[in-house]
Chain A
């Protein structure tokens, strides 16, 4: 019998790579976790009735964590040759030797994960022509919806099918798949020398549920509403925060609820579990099992099963998010919030579908005679929001409102405050949940005062 010699440079399949790595680790007596991922994407952009960019991709790779003497070491590779995989294992092992042991760190063979349907009917029955048609429709409808539209520079159709697996030498082996189809569009409108841009997007797990016409019309309506803007006043004002802006803020300050940030002394919520931290109307939930949510997943980056987690209930801080290690050190169970920030990122703690719970239908009516600032959106959060202190100062868009009537849009202005103060100051919570592309959601909320700077 001839034994075939394998080419060390030949690329293995993703499954083959995982098996090869676990086998190699076992042979060397190493504790190893392998996170393997394959993603296929299509995206189409159109401008002025023509497809400007069409993109297809297949991307795969493996991320490794070796546990050695109670310390983690990490590596990742997109080169799936045996030589590259062995190098990645060597690197992760070397890194584990260098890092300090973290008490409680362990590879766990978790109980089964919930069954979630994150793929719907799939994309195999959807033709490229249908995807192209969706991008063209976004552009055509947005361009024709209002004579003041001067360009539709950003937007398009994109989809993704992501398959991922987590396995470890402790015997854990699980896999999942999620599909997403997204349309988004940002028309640019101009009138009397003033240019304004805003947009809308739709995320779904079923291609047939996409409605590009509606997305385009909403986008144009939003951008058009910003025309005729006048300078914003400066001062402290009551603020009606749109669900979209509130969800953006929640996303910026989500790290406050991370067990990792708490244990490293980087969250103002450290030592405050069990305390009231917000107004009674504030309930914040993270639910990875919400199938319609962008960040739904049956298990986390360590394979721990997902379950809904109430962080804040009626203003009371009940829990924070944990992965295996932070939970062990805090003396609680993992909440299933281990998160990888990309294949090449570290395993940390992060939210899934995180939202401020809306008021039940039929709840308190919105105040009829609101006067103040209606905050539509915020930007610049990567630099203007500090999750260590809770302070924020952000570029904002919105309107001046007097006695319940929208007066006019506002030129670029800022909104500043502290997120925890804001949660205390919530006077009313709306009934409709708005989601951001960061996987955070919120209804409209009314707060007593935030600082506004304009002229």
Chain B
């Protein structure tokens, strides 16, 4: 993307104020967004995000600056500003960097396409969307259908004053369908939105018809459903996007971004039991074609498969460069940022509770009076306290070990440190679901995942 001599010059100029470390991140990203409403293409948008950021570290202090002007003049001006910023912010040391002899990181892109989104015509993308629409429109009481198609190709260059040079291409495609069912004044919504770090061939494996049909199924199932009850219940949580519970309840507070600020209840607990022994949890950046996969992280490190919790015992945090400097834990290739507009931070990639040895049916049979949360929406957490919430979009009562009447969605809330101990059963049907995770370094594609799990007790935010 840029020549080595210019990059070396920029890093040298940036370090002139005495920084211990300088890093340049350059990004050129193109994306397409299409929206069908009632089968008609209403929005069509292409975009090009283009910019560069320079990060300096003085000890653990971070100075970051970015610009859209990715020319030699623009980058050298950026370097001058970022070097001066520290002077304005505090002490300026003497010194600087000499020439750099870059070592290229051997990157195997984890997101590759057989049918590359940049080379596919919009008509092809539209045809896929129409198939999803057709599978949802008019099914049962469905009255309104929206289908969105998104693709993204991001090329990045990461170079630093240690001589690292890494380039990666990330790409993704996604189709989201939302169906609204209506009878009289009663309305219910259903949605399905799978994506992958792959090209359009992904929709051979996940045919658009399945996406449309799933959205329509949920909307119809929830129409006329009663509200969930309010209070504490045993809950069986469905697989795939059900993993949002681990993501919110536990994932965020295992990022060093929270741990290093003493804003995590799991700070200092490596080696200790923090979950029931049926829980093993992993954060993996190396699953080829996954939504959260990376050839290199945004600090230029080849990611790992990181076991976070093994049989209930905390094994590792997710660690970026600054997290390593502050906590002493080894880096895990978890430094991520939404774009050049953010300094990297430790973030999740594909995070899941690993498969256990029960079956979903066994878990449900074990509940006399409780809730089956079959499909989930998003959630959030307050890192300092571990209080979290996530939304259930499709739920059912469990009575006498059997799935009974449908219930409208409700929030489930709890506290991460306590509730990990309450995950008492884990089935074997592990799947991943795709989400966008918003945190300190912006909104990023991450997978959540799990098999069906049983929580002995959790607060269900239904109606009294």
Residue contact A384 to B263, C-beta cutoff 8 Å: no
Residue contact A384 to B463, C-beta cutoff 8 Å: no
Residue contact B50 to A77, C-beta cutoff 8 Å: yes
Residue contact A382 to B378, C-beta cutoff 8 Å: yes
| CB contact between A196 and one of B37, B69, B232, B385 (< 8 Å): that residue | B385
Chain A binder among B41-49, B131-139, B164-172: B41-49
State how many angstroms separate the Cβ of A218 from the closest Cβ of chain B. 17
Q: Across the interface, which residues of B come within 8 angstroms of A8, CB to CB? A: none
Tell me whether A128 and B51 are in contact in the complex, defined as CB-CB below 8 angstroms, given that A151-B261, A380-B411, A383-B377 are known contacts. no
State how many angstroms separate the Cβ of B394 from the closest Cβ of chain A. 13
The digit string for A228-255, where 1 denotes a CB below 8 A from any CB of B, is 0000001110000000000000000000
Q: Across the interface, which residues of A come within 8 angstroms of B51, CB to CB? A: 59, 78
Chain B binder among A173-181, A263-271, A280-288, A433-441: A263-271
Of chain A, the residue at the smallest CB distance from B180 is A388
State how many angstroms separate the Cβ of A89 from the closest Cβ of chain B. 11
| CB contact between B462 and one of A55, A79, A394, A453 (< 8 Å): that residue | A453
Q: Across the interface, which residues of A come within 8 angstroms of B82, CB to CB? A: 56
The digit string for B62-102, where 1 denotes a CB below 8 A from any CB of A, is 11111111110010000001100110111000000000000
Confirm or deny: A84 has a beta carbon within 8 angstroms of a beta carbon on chain B.
yes
Q: Complex formed: what's the CA distance from A268 to B383 in Å?
A: 35
Confirm or deny: A422 has a beta carbon within 8 angstroms of a beta carbon on chain B.
no
Residue contact B262 to A153, C-beta cutoff 8 Å: yes
Q: Across the interface, which residues of A come within 8 angstroms of B28, CB to CB? A: 79
Residue contact B385 to A76, C-beta cutoff 8 Å: no
Residue contact B45 to A346, C-beta cutoff 8 Å: yes
The digit string for A85-119, where 1 denotes a CB below 8 A from any CB of B, is 00110011011101110100000000000000000
Residue contact B45 to A153, C-beta cutoff 8 Å: no
| CB contact between B89 and one of A54, A58, A96 (< 8 Å): that residue | A54
Residue contact A100 to B68, C-beta cutoff 8 Å: no
Q: Across the interface, which residues of A come within 8 angstroms of B62, CB to CB? A: 52-54
Of chain B, the residue at the smallest CB distance from A388 is B189
Residue contact B46 to A75, C-beta cutoff 8 Å: yes
The digit string for A46-74, where 1 denotes a CB below 8 A from any CB of B, is 01001111111111110000000000111
Confirm or deny: B40 has a beta carbon within 8 angstroms of a beta carbon on chain A.
yes
Confirm or deny: A292 has a beta carbon within 8 angstroms of a beta carbon on chain B.
no
Confirm or deny: A160 has a beta carbon within 8 angstroms of a beta carbon on chain B.
no
Tell me whether A11 and B69 are in contact in the complex, defined as CB-CB below 8 angstroms, given that A99-B42, A413-B459 are known contacts. yes
Q: Complex formed: what's the CA distance from A52 to B86 in Å?
A: 11
Residue contact B411 to A55, C-beta cutoff 8 Å: no
Q: Complex formed: what's the CA distance from A87 to B68 in Å?
A: 17
The digit string for B32-64, where 1 denotes a CB below 8 A from any CB of A, is 010101001111111111110000000011111
Q: Across the interface, which residues of B come within 8 angstroms of A394, CB to CB? A: 389, 411, 461
Q: Complex formed: what's the CA distance from A151 to B265 in Å?
A: 12
Tell me whether A99 and B48 are in contact in the complex, defined as CB-CB below 8 angstroms, given that A51-B90, A393-B409, A394-B389 are known contacts. no
Tell me whether A452 and B230 are in contact in the complex, defined as CB-CB below 8 angstroms, given that A53-B64, A57-B341, A264-B144 are known contacts. yes
State how many angstroms separate the Cβ of B337 from the closest Cβ of chain A. 12
A-B contact count, CB below 8 Å? 269
Residue contact B463 to A153, C-beta cutoff 8 Å: no
Tell me whether A98 and B389 are in contact in the complex, defined as CB-CB below 8 angstroms, given that A197-B382, A236-B464, A414-B413 are known contacts. no
| CB contact between B64 and one of A47, A55, A96, A416 (< 8 Å): that residue | A55
Q: Complex formed: what's the CA distance from A395 to B416 in Å?
A: 14
Q: Across the interface, which residues of B come within 8 angstroms of A94, CB to CB? A: 122
Confirm or deny: B266 has a beta carbon within 8 angstroms of a beta carbon on chain A.
no
Tell me whether A100 and B40 are in contact in the complex, defined as CB-CB below 8 angstroms, given that A379-B380, A414-B411 are known contacts. yes
Residue contact B382 to A451, C-beta cutoff 8 Å: no
Confirm or deny: A164 has a beta carbon within 8 angstroms of a beta carbon on chain B.
no
Tell me whether A380 and B379 are in contact in the complex, defined as CB-CB below 8 angstroms, given that A56-B85, A79-B50, A188-B263 are known contacts. yes
Confirm or deny: B352 has a beta carbon within 8 angstroms of a beta carbon on chain A.
no
Q: Across the interface, which residues of B come within 8 angstroms of A365, CB to CB? A: none
Tell me whether A186 and B60 are in contact in the complex, defined as CB-CB below 8 angstroms, given that A54-B85, A384-B391 are known contacts. no
Tell me whether A99 and B391 are in contact in the complex, defined as CB-CB below 8 angstroms, given that A76-B48, A415-B461 are known contacts. no
Q: Across the interface, which residues of A come within 8 angstroms of B382, CB to CB? A: 197, 379
Q: Across the interface, which residues of B come within 8 angstroms of A84, CB to CB? A: 48, 50
The number of chain A residues touching the other chain, given as a range, is 35 or more
The digit string for B87-130, where 1 denotes a CB below 8 A from any CB of A, is 01110000000000000000000000000000000110010000
Residue contact B45 to A74, C-beta cutoff 8 Å: yes
CB contact list, A389-428 vs B, under 8 A: 389, 391, 393-395, 411-417
Residue contact A195 to B385, C-beta cutoff 8 Å: yes
Residue contact B41 to A416, C-beta cutoff 8 Å: no
Q: Across the interface, which residues of A come within 8 angstroms of B42, CB to CB? A: 99-100, 102
Q: Complex formed: what's the CA distance from A283 to B107 in Å?
A: 58
State how many angstroms separate the Cβ of B463 from the closest Cβ of chain A. 4
Residue contact B144 to A265, C-beta cutoff 8 Å: yes
Confirm or deny: A369 has a beta carbon within 8 angstroms of a beta carbon on chain B.
no
Confirm or deny: A150 has a beta carbon within 8 angstroms of a beta carbon on chain B.
yes
State how many angstroms separate the Cβ of B419 from the closest Cβ of chain A. 10
Residue contact B463 to A416, C-beta cutoff 8 Å: yes
Q: Across the interface, which residues of B come within 8 angstroms of A234, CB to CB? A: 230-232, 464
Tell me whether A451 and B464 are in contact in the complex, defined as CB-CB below 8 angstroms, given that A56-B65, A75-B45, A100-B41 are known contacts. yes
Tell me whether A197 and B384 are in contact in the complex, defined as CB-CB below 8 angstroms, given that A51-B61, A416-B230 are known contacts. yes
Residue contact A54 to B411, C-beta cutoff 8 Å: no
Confirm or deny: B415 has a beta carbon within 8 angstroms of a beta carbon on chain A.
yes
Closest 4 CB pairs of A and B: A414-B461, A95-B44, A395-B389, A453-B230
22 A–B contact pairs at CB < 8 A?
A: A52-B60, A52-B61, A56-B81, A57-B67, A74-B46, A76-B45, A76-B46, A80-B68, A99-B42, A100-B41, A132-B90, A151-B384, A344-B47, A380-B378, A380-B380, A393-B410, A412-B459, A414-B389, A414-B461, A416-B230, A416-B411, A451-B463
Q: Which positions in B face A, CB cutoff 8 Å?
A: 28, 31, 33, 35, 37, 40-51, 60-71, 74, 81-82, 85-86, 88-90, 122-123, 126, 143-144, 146, 180, 187-189, 227-228, 230-232, 258, 261-263, 265, 341, 343, 377-380, 382-391, 408-411, 413-415, 459-464
Q: Which positions in A face B, CB cutoff 8 Å?
A: 10-11, 44, 47, 50-61, 72-80, 84, 87-88, 91-92, 94-96, 98-100, 102, 127-129, 132, 150-151, 153-154, 186, 188, 195-197, 234-236, 264-266, 268, 344, 346, 379-380, 382-384, 386, 388-389, 391, 393-395, 411-417, 451-455
